[in-house]
Amino acid sequence: MILEFTEFNNQRMNSDSAVPAMAVDNPSLSTNAFDKHEDIIRGAIAKIGDLQKSLGGSPAYRSLKSKMSLESQDVTSLKVIRIVKNNNLNYDVYINFKIGDNEYWGVVNDILGNIDFKSEVFKDDSLIQTKEWVIKLKGFIIKNIKSWMKPQFGNFKVITNEIICYSSKEGKMLKMPKDAEIEVLKSYDDRIIFKYDNEQYTLIGDNFVYFNYWFDKVTAPPQI
């Protein structure tokens, strides 16, 4: 829209006999006159938009964007709350963990058999619930619980009233009283081999599952 006659003249629109102008006198006039600086900016923005659209459709860009988004969904804290023996055969591990500032609860059913992990975290719509992330989360939690249940090599002390186990070779029964010390030799996914009084014994079942509750790490005294 031309606002007034003087603007008409400034745009060199007065007559066909007038010499045509290569540029207007005032680039901010209401007829959207050309301005090279604004045009450079508009062109740059258009190129950035085209580049983003081009990259956005590539598998590499989608993969990178997905990984960056999921980095903030890593588990930052994991605690074993309790372990419950189910039907005198299976062991269910109840856990608590954090992702960012949010706290979640879950249970790993049958930790020594057909493992199944259930949690309220999978119902949180604020998280990006990709198939890869779900598999990664389940694997991370199960792996760390199993690792926690397997003690490292070293000496441990009985802190419960009594532990009953059997010799690895002869099957001889051993009753270890409170404060008895053992040396862990090997740890497997369902048993622990240890040495006591120069003989090897095996911890299985409750003794294996509740090892961290019934035994305590013996700390070597500081050397003077």
pLDDT tens digits, one per residue of 32-88 = 555 667 777 777 777 777 766 666 556 655 554 455 455 678 899 999 999 999 888
Whether residue 120 has pLDDT greater than 90: yes
In terms of Cα–Cα distance, which of 149, 140, 74, 78 is closest to 111? Answer: 149
Helix axes 59-70, 36-56, angle to 10 degrees: 80
Q: How far is CA 200 from CA 80, 173, 194, in A?
A: 29, 11, 6
Based on the fold, state whether residues 65 and 81 are members of the same structural domain. Answer: no
Note the pLDDT of residue 64. Answer: 47
Two tokens at 96? 């608590």
Based on the fold, state whether residues 101 and 46 are members of the same structural domain. Answer: no
Q: What is the SS3 assignment for 108?
A: strand
> Could you tell me if residue 222 is inside a domain?
no
Q: How far is CA 213 from CA 51, 81, 120, 166, 186, in A?
A: 58, 12, 27, 20, 19
Note the pLDDT of residue 68. Answer: 47
Question: Region 121-135: what's the mean pLDDT?
Answer: 90
Based on the fold, state whether residues 92 and 145 are members of the same structural domain. Answer: yes
Q: How many domains does the chain have?
A: 3
Two tokens at 166? 């059997």
Residue ending a domain, choose from 51, 69, 87: 69
Residue that is written with structure tokens 């706290």 in the block: 103
> Could you tell me if residue 223 is inside a domain?
no
Least confident among 98-102, 144-148, 205-209 = 98-102
Range of the domain at 36: 5-69
Whether residue 96 has pLDDT greater than 70: yes
Specify the higher pLDDT residue, 64 or 186. 186
Question: Region 142-151: what's the mean pLDDT?
Answer: 95
Q: With contact defined as beta carbons under 8 Å apart, do 34 and 23 qualify?
A: yes
Residue that is written with structure tokens 């990006």 in the block: 128
* Cα–Cα distance for residue pair 99/119, rounded to 1 Å: 13
Residue ending a domain, choose from 97, 124, 149: 149
Specify the higher pLDDT residue, 7 or 113. 113
Whether residue 191 has pLDDT greater than 70: yes
> Could you tell me if residue 117 is inside a domain?
yes
Residue ending a domain, choose from 101, 121, 149: 149
Q: With contact defined as beta carbons under 8 Å apart, do 191 and 202 qualify?
A: yes
The dihedrals phi and psi of 136, each to the nearest 5 degrees, come to -65, -45
Q: How are strands ordered across the β-sheet holding 75-86? A: 75-86, 90-99, 102-109, 116-119
Based on the fold, state whether residues 131 and 161 are members of the same structural domain. Answer: no
